[in-house]
Structure 1
């Protein structure tokens, strides 16, 4: 490969040949080496596994959602079963505390034992969707691990499967309001959702009508039903550009002519849309550093609802019949603005913690979908969201937007020999000074008594430092029962909110992508130096972790400052930046140009050369045993990071 007059030769390109016996043998040898190196940790692994299992709530049950059909829907775990059971029950009458008979209408464990799934290498139920009258259930299954789902349909009354099966579906599917057809997105050979189709139940899938096909391989399709159920909204989006179409959800469309363009694509402008009676609500970054919100009357002119603000990022919004719920973030802190559409007044929901996370809806996808389906015109004054922090187990909270009262519907349980006591643990937010003077946020959690003991004796603590830093994504401070095994052994756990993430808005994201990507790595290094300087840890006790794009961050900083870390763990790391981004035949490459850049651009190429982990491995430093201990985990079927990325990286290290 020749780029900008420079010739690149990849000594380990042969490891991309997936079915080559030599490649398979090399993978087996690496796994055998890992087993040998970790053999002495066997007792510790068994102890940790026992601790993890002891904290699992094997009887966990989601909050219930009452639907107009008279049933309350929920899902639950059952001790000894691997997958969830989906249930419904008639709510107890006259205040009774005991349920009548619970109807298990969909048992994932039974589905996993069906002949075509029993011997599959992988099994995961994706979405569950109900028709509006509750008569038909659609569910999707991934049996390979590559996120290609097949959709199946079941009659709720008889529990019999319909003959319809739709393969190669992504995560989006919606029923028409009359339940006669489904709208879905189809994947191509590069894992890109490129078509919007409609399938009429009872007809051959081969006859499905293509309503839209996206010709640009940088764009990816998603779809969902609007809040008021009038329309199916389809978004075609690249990393920084999108456009929106809509089609009536009332019944079966006749063809592509029924799909209407609402907001055409314009380079660098993104839209998120929902429908509310006679207007569309639109979230956009048009003309602003951060997102703002406007309405677009059907089908006339726009009107601003929330003007753009430099230091407030609107992440998303939801429409209820009488309320608009706006999820915002400012200086790493999430907030919820509730707008009363009857008089245009608003208020913010108050929280007592300073370091916390919240998510719209619930953490269970089916329950979240059912909640959304009834929030418009049914219990419309009630809002559900998930709340938690490093020390507070996840709660599903129901908030009355008229009375401003909160009710905790459910809380993550932490079964253990000793009850979990949040007062034992402390969560804080710190700020490091970056290489260019930028303040970099860090969220940390530790056990109060163990850190105090170390500080009193002048001893730094062991620490696990984590980051992601790409795509404008967030690493939210949420509770983890498995993390308690670290904290209870005296570890500090910390997250660096580097540039490239979305923690401080779009500007924060823009300053950590493309040619500015090195800011992400410098932020992480600055945070590590700050934590060492403040006495929380030391280079001898500092371990770091990242996954996927976060794995790129970890392997990049290992090259840049190997002296700063004792150990590094990466899962499916994106490490061969220049080779991968120069090969559009690899799935997702073209789509990723707006995040990492195209190395055919000289400025991008020069930036990539400074940080590409695979390119910048230092042989002399390795020879002097100057690198931290490394564990690198890859996946043969990971849909985003090819198996050969971590494989080539380790081979080159050796």
Structure 2
């Protein structure tokens, strides 16, 4: 439980004002329409069915437990969700034109007909193409010309004499007839003749895998049903995939021979510990496949030698509590990133294929530098790290295969120009000296670079075109730090348009936070947010504890019995921004999704006076009830994240911040809550119950809106333009809450 705006001033009596306006308008409406409008403009009231929940001698009464329906089809539940959606649409109807305007702005920044940076694999260049007006991508490839010049930086030929483009798969065609469509994996076989892709048509993240001929598109064999998106080729005629148990925990890894029945597949490993989940990864060399079984604190690895006729798993790293490992392969060594309680920021080691117990330290543990990941090449290694809250990439040359290896020396560190930025590894060619990475900042559009690890020269391969008059020089990004209640310095990244803000406390602000699962919320580029920033908003990301931005301890200081640090850090950031005249309470809006939605719920209960409006997307707000129920997806695997409330200490600590359990009779800001009916990560019932309890207890007349997507899951709608609608709706709500939305006639 893995994240737009002028005339009439809204105030505390806004819903009452809408009610009056509806009454006045009703004078010119037919009676039936008047009655329908009045009903739709009345907040739905969920019926109360008290249910006692007892644990450790403590009894909680949940009046809205009935909203949870595992089948997601109970008529009363669906009727309530539809009533909430109708109410939200009615209340937001006066800013529908503004929503449409913002949507048009966001979409106008997109170059709709475009291709991604091609990557050479074997005899083909592979890339994705988008088309004007189309929601989804096409997966394409072109042959590498036989007379193509050999250069360090590979370039796909274009123009009339370039090889013909072949569309392997058009998602737009596959999506026809589906309200939701997502491809979670697209894997080309080693010989380039076949493609396996994982398809989800509900948003529940349960995939069907199809294998097709890459040239003809014809299906090969029968689809594989009910699996995760984790699939890998084990040679040209076998697939390895993972299935889930009843609570959607990835627990079994299978070997499938092409054109055989799924019922005949071989189970390579079954993870029976319900706190562990399985994952797959193939080495950059394509010679080994790794199966990782991991919890939040521990992971161990098996490997499969793809070249061998018998496909069997062999233990690479043992299962030892508190030791976390990831692995890859080059030459006659496995390379392993290993974290332990002692080496909490990880170390990088290598071991011979024929003696995995004999390890050599390549990069030692460092207190100030966290090793996040690494990429192997025939002669190099690129290491992705974090220092002082920022990503860094260092490339090292490796000794020739067969030569002794030792501690890495003389690495080249790649330079980045922005004060805060996001860097992510991209797929690269194993036999090349070039590492490809993705770069952006809050003012720099997404860019793909090829960096020659021998010369230290970067070449820009692709930068996303941003239309609509976007000029990066108009915007400022900066880093700032807030002091938490215990004195810890919390980093923030700030974006604003330098000719639209005053920095005197009068500017509106949207403050975003997450702070869970050791996830780093780095300041990447977002086209949508410029519809706020160009209206004078300051946009801020608070890199609070519970995330991984400042290293492993940053995460550990914001989880389990330290979880409240996440919330107080966010409040400290808000107070710092107000004290330093970036904004005021009257113009401070906040936003978070999923575990970031938990953050929203917690800080709204703790300091409702500090914010003007809040948006909680698919929020994990019923923490205690959910974590006490091992039949719900993710519960058992997340006891190491939040704590196991079957233990009294964790129960009462979680109860102290669980948003649903701490809603009380007090004033709250304007609030928008969203959900997805098919969400497997945060059940729709959590936000539904949260809104119902807020409606029951809150003492203000501020907006409280709930929008549930009935045909989507955790990540909202699937189409690239459909997703923009959610942004436009959210921004219209924020502008409405701030009184910055133009008045529209009903």
CA distance in 2, matches of 1:335, 1:246: 29
The equivalences for 1:234-249 within 5 A come to 234-249=291-306
1:582-622 C-alpha deviation (Å, 9 max, x unpaired): 11111110001000001122221221122110011011x1x
Match of 1:131 among 165, 182, 189: 189
Q: Partner residue of 2:249? A: 192
Alignment correspondent of 1:225: 282
* Aligned counterpart, 1:89: 142
Out of 546, 549, 565, the position equivalent to 1:500 is 546
2-side partners of 1:559 and 1:308: how far apart? 40
The DSSP-based 3-state class of the residue aligned with 2:659 is coil
Report how far residue 163 of structure 1 moved. Answer: 2.3
2:81 to 12, 16, 27: 27
Q: 1:132 to 1:411 in 2, by over 3 A?
A: same
User: Which of 329, 344, 352 lines up with 1:297 in the alignment?
Assistant: 352
Once residues 351 and 576 of structure 1 are traced to their aligned partners in structure 2, the CA distance between those partners, rounded to angstroms, is: 41
The match for 1:6 among 58, 67, 70 is 58
Distance 1:653 1:506 in 2: 36
Q: Contact 1:518/1:607 (CA < 8 Å) preserved in 2? A: no
Deviation at 1:272, TM superposition (A): 0.9
Answer yes or no: is 1:450 the counterpart of 2:497. no
Structure 2 distance, partners of 1:15, 1:97, is 56
1:404 counterpart = 2:456: yes
Deviates more, 1:153-162 or 1:84-93: 84-93
1:73-96 superposed Cα distances (whole Å, 9 cap, x missing partner)? 211101122211122223566787
Pairing 1:382–2:434 present: yes
Query: Could you tell me which of 95, 101, 112 is aligned with 1:41?
Result: 95
2:482 is aligned, of 432, 435, 442, to 432
Kindly state the Cα deviation for residue 476 of structure 1 after the two structures are TM-superposed: 1.1
Compute the displacement of 1:97 (Å).
Answer: 5.0
- Work out the CA distance in 2 between the residues paired with 1:108 and 1:20: 32
* 1:474–1:501 Cα contact (<8 Å) kept: yes
In the alignment, the residues of structure 1 paired with residue 567 and residue 505 of structure 2 have an alpha-carbon distance, to the nearest angstrom, of 27
Q: Which has the higher contact order (CA 8 A, sep 6+)?
A: 2
SS at match of 1:144: coil
Residue 485 of structure 1: how far off its partner (Å): 0.6
Q: Unpaired segments of 5 or more residues in structure 1?
A: 362-367
Query: 2: CA distance between counterparts of 1:7 and 1:634?
Result: 28
1:108 pairs with 151, 154, 171, which one? 171
Tell me whether 1:288 sits opposite 2:343 in the alignment: yes
Aligned positions of 1:150-169 closer than 5 A: 150-169=208-227
Structure 2 CA distance, aligned partners of 1:13 and 1:262?
A: 46
Whether 1:358 aligns to 2:404 is: no
Give 1:364's aligned residue.
Answer: none
Tell me which of 639, 652, 676 is aligned to 1:606: 652
TM-score (ref. length: structure 2): 0.81
Give yes or no for contact 1:105–1:159 (8 Å, CA) kept in 2. yes
Is 1:66 aligned with 2:107? no
Q: Select the residue among 392, 400, 403 that pairs with 1:335.
A: 392
SS of structure 1 residue aligned to 2:604: helix
SS of the residue aligned with 2:61? coil
Structure 1 residues 55 and 437: CA distance shift in structure 2, 3 A = same
The 2-side partners of 1:125 and 1:602 are apart by 42
Could you say which residue in structure 2 is the equivalent of 1:347?
412
3-state DSSP of counterpart to 2:140: strand
Q: Does structure 2 conserve the Cα–Cα contact (< 8 Å) formed by 1:546 and 1:554?
A: yes
Are 1:617 and 2:663 matched, yes or no? yes
Larger mean Cα displacement after TM superposition, 104-113 or 239-248: 104-113
Aligned with residue 147 of structure 1, among 200, 205, 219: 205
- Distance in structure 1 (CA, Å) of the matches to 2:107 and 2:359: 53
Of 234, 242, 247, the residue aligned with 1:176 is 234
Counterpart-to-counterpart distance in 2, 1:493 and 1:529: 15
| SS of structure 2 residue aligned to 1:423 | helix
CA distance in 2 between counterparts of 1:643 and 1:251 reads 46
Q: Judge which range, 644-653 or 298-307, deviates more.
A: 298-307
Q: Does 1:482 find its partner at 2:491?
A: no
Q: Which residue of 1 aligns with 2:27?
A: none
Partners of 1:148 and 1:252 lie apart in 2 by 30
CA RMSD of aligned residues (A): 1.5
Q: How does 1:305-316 map to 2 (within 5 A)?
A: 305-316=362-373
Secondary structure (helix, strand or coil) at the match of 1:575 reads coil
Kept after mapping to 2: 8 A contact 1:59/1:76: yes
- In structure 2, how many angstroms separate the alpha carbons of the residues matched to 1:599 and 1:239? 17
Q: 1:432 to 1:35 in 2, by over 3 A?
A: same
Q: Please point out which of 74, 79, 99 is paired with 2:132.
A: 79
Corresponding position of 1:422: 472
Q: 1: distance between equivalents of 2:144 and 2:111?
A: 24
CA distance in 1, matches of 2:472, 2:466: 11
Cα distance in 1 for residues equivalent to 2:636 and 2:317? 23
Contact 1:225 1:249 in 2 (8 A): no
Equivalent in 669, 674, 685 of residue 644 of structure 1: 685
**1-structure distance, mates of 2:140, 2:645:** 51
d(CA) in 1 for partners of 2:63, 2:112: 49
Q: Secondary structure at the match of 1:8?
A: strand
Which structure 2 residues correspond to residues 503-514 of structure 1 after superposition, within 5 A?
A: 503-514=549-560
CA distance in 2, matches of 1:252, 1:556: 54
Q: What SS does structure 2 have at the residue aligned with 1:450?
A: coil
Q: Deviation digits for residues 482-535 of structure 1, max 9, x if unmatched?
A: 111111000000000110000000000000000100000000000000000000
CA distance, structure 2, for counterparts of residue 22 and residue 169 of structure 1? 31
In the TM superposition, 1:525-536 aligns within 5 A as 525-536=571-582
Displacement of 1:266 in angstroms is 1.4
